[in-house]
Every structure is written in structure tokens, then in C-alpha cells.
Amino acid sequence: MTRLNFKWVKRVAQYSTGEYLYLNKIRLAGYHWNSARSQGTKDDSTDWTGEVDLPFLKTQQVYAESEEEIKAKVEEIVTSWFSEALTTK
């Protein structure tokens, strides 16, 4: 399978942090600060939350400690989804 050319675009909304993941002009996923907890507190690895907007996924929400980690997790899920969707049997 060829490499997918993902593009991360900053969210443009008041009081919003994070980015959306696009493939060409189609928004596939995104991540943002986990607003269920206060910024600056440290407990486990739930600082950032990501959601994947692809059909037929069991787990569409993931959590991570850093922006780099959440981006990697989201891209992994999306890449895996496309790999399975484009595989012919």
C-alpha cells in the first residue's frame, strides 16, 4: 500500500487546542486537550484525547500524554483502517 499523505491542521475555535487530521480535503480524525481534567494536573496518560471519524471502528477514542504520542496513535489507527479497507481478498 502506498503511503498516505496526512496533513494536520490546527483547530480554529475559541478555547480550543489541538488539530484535525486530513487526507486531501477529507477530515478523518482529530485530537484536543482532555477537557475532563484541569490543565496542569498530572495523573495518568490522559492529557490529550483523540477521536477517529471512520466507520466500523470499535475504538474511536484514544488518550495520550503528549501531542506527539496522540498524533502517532491516531495516525496508526487511520493507517490500519485504510490498509484493511483497501486489502482485497
DSSP secondary structure string for all residues of 37-59: S-TT--SSS-SEEEEE--TT-S-
The C-alpha angle with vertex 7 and arms to 6 and 10, in degrees rounded to 5, equals: 145
Q: What is the pLDDT of residue 86?
A: 82
Q: If you average pLDDT over residues 28-41, what whole number do you get?
A: 79
The answer, yes or no, to whether residue 28 has pLDDT greater than 60, is yes
Global confidence as pTM: 0.82
> Average pLDDT over the chain, rounded to whole?
85
